[in-house]
Amino acid sequence: PFWGRLRAPGRLRSRRAAMAKASPVQPLEYFCCGCSLDIGCWVILTIHLMMSILYIGSTVLNIVFDEPTVGAEVAPVVQAFNCGYALASLPFILSGFSGVKFGHESHLRIYLYWMLLTFCLDTTFVTMDLLQRNCSSVPKFLLTTGAAFACGLTRLVSGVTLLMYLAFMGYATFTVWSRCL
């Protein structure tokens, strides 16, 4: 069965014990306070796969079939880039699934490098978007009652959202890195 093939954290202790002497950064032994790293990698890979399918599907519906869906207000060039990047991600995601299922560290490490590139690109684009956005996205009814407060609140929520994204992606990347060891 699927659960029998999952690697137990105890098998990695000798390799991790050697790393404890060499590095101040210690790998995770568990994902989300008790799940194995294999399950954590499956969850991360599944979320990445679902997001890629969402980007591909919404771009095809928005541009090819001219049916407005999620992200219809985004420029077609950006949608095409997101779709292309999502299509390029699929082999790396499949490599990650293969690495976890069959225990091939090199397959999972290939996905780890793609995930790091994705993390860097997403962080750069989201930060650029937040810095370029000037309170133009504030709803009109808030501008009439307190424009400065609404603008400040929008910037605060955007900053907190960026920090939450960085924390989640950092934890996901660290989980995959820990499983690669």
Q: Express each pLDDT in 110-159 by its tens digit.
A: 999 999 999 999 999 888 888 777 677 777 777 777 778 888 888 888 88
pLDDT in tens, the chain (181 residues): 454 455 555 555 555 556 556 778 888 888 888 888 899 999 999 999 999 999 999 999 999 998 888 888 888 999 999 999 999 999 999 999 999 999 889 999 999 999 999 999 999 988 888 877 767 777 777 777 777 888 888 888 888 988 999 999 999 999 999 998 8
- Size (the chain), residues: 181
Output the six-digit token pair for 142.
């808030």
Q: What is the C-alpha separation between 30 and 21, in angstroms, rounded?
A: 20
Q: What is the C-alpha separation between 149 and 54, in angstroms, rounded?
A: 34
